Amino acid sequence: MNIIYCCMDCGNQICKKTALDGKGRCLSCSSKGKLSSNWKNGKTTKKYFCKICKCLITYNTANFGKGHCVPCAGVINAEQIIGENNLFFGKHHSLQNKEQWSKNRQGKLSNNWRGGISKFLYPLEFLHIKETIRKRDNFTCQCCCMTENKHLAIRGTVLNIHHIDYDKNKQSGIQPDYSMLLL
């Protein structure tokens, strides 16, 4: 007769040893809330910090990620893909492959296809507010928090201004509130 042991909190199957010798809970449930060894007066006391800049990060980032905050992880990833650190360094794709990939990514076949709106030019007013948007966003990417100077040093280009809804012709597109600074 086979006995199936289950966690008393979530009902997931656990091994016999955990059920009989432990507290009858799976690893996930035994480390949550009041059952956690770091639980003190309604909150967890252990804090986790980024390995590089020492800013506060979440438990999941510290234990299941690489232990870096988002800005530091972006810099590390950028450094890994540039120059000799890149796994593809010194290798080249054939011209035939490049042409085939280009044909497969044009127009409606492109992942970025938005119904043909990308072929329209930006209104002239938008060109005048680009610097305003850069200053408003403190010359920092709104996704990875990389500064424009760091981006220029690593990738050789300045950060781009994007419409939030990708619609270049909308009257709201010439207002800084509907645009943001991105890589």
pLDDT per position as a tens digit, 93-149: 899 998 888 888 887 887 777 776 656 666 777 777 888 888 888 888 887 888 888
pLDDT greater at residue 168 or residue 46: 46
**Mean per-residue pLDDT, 61-68:** 80
**Mean per-residue pLDDT, 27-44:** 67
d(CA 116, CA 123): 16
Question: Do 112 and 118 meet the contact criterion of CB atoms below 8 Å apart?
Answer: yes
pLDDT at residue number 178: 57
**Mean per-residue pLDDT, 47-71:** 83
Question: Do 23 and 5 meet the contact criterion of CB atoms below 8 Å apart?
Answer: no
Q: Is the pLDDT of residue 173 over 50?
A: no
pLDDT at residue number 166: 62
pLDDT greater at residue 131 or residue 42: 131
Work out whether strand 39-40 and strand 43-44 pair parallel, antiparallel, or are unpaired. antiparallel
pLDDT greater at residue 42 or residue 61: 61
Q: What does the CA dihedral 105, 106, 109, 114 come to, rounded to 10 degrees?
A: 120
Least confident window among 27-41, 75-89, 90-104: 27-41
Q: Is the pLDDT of residue 48 over 70?
A: yes
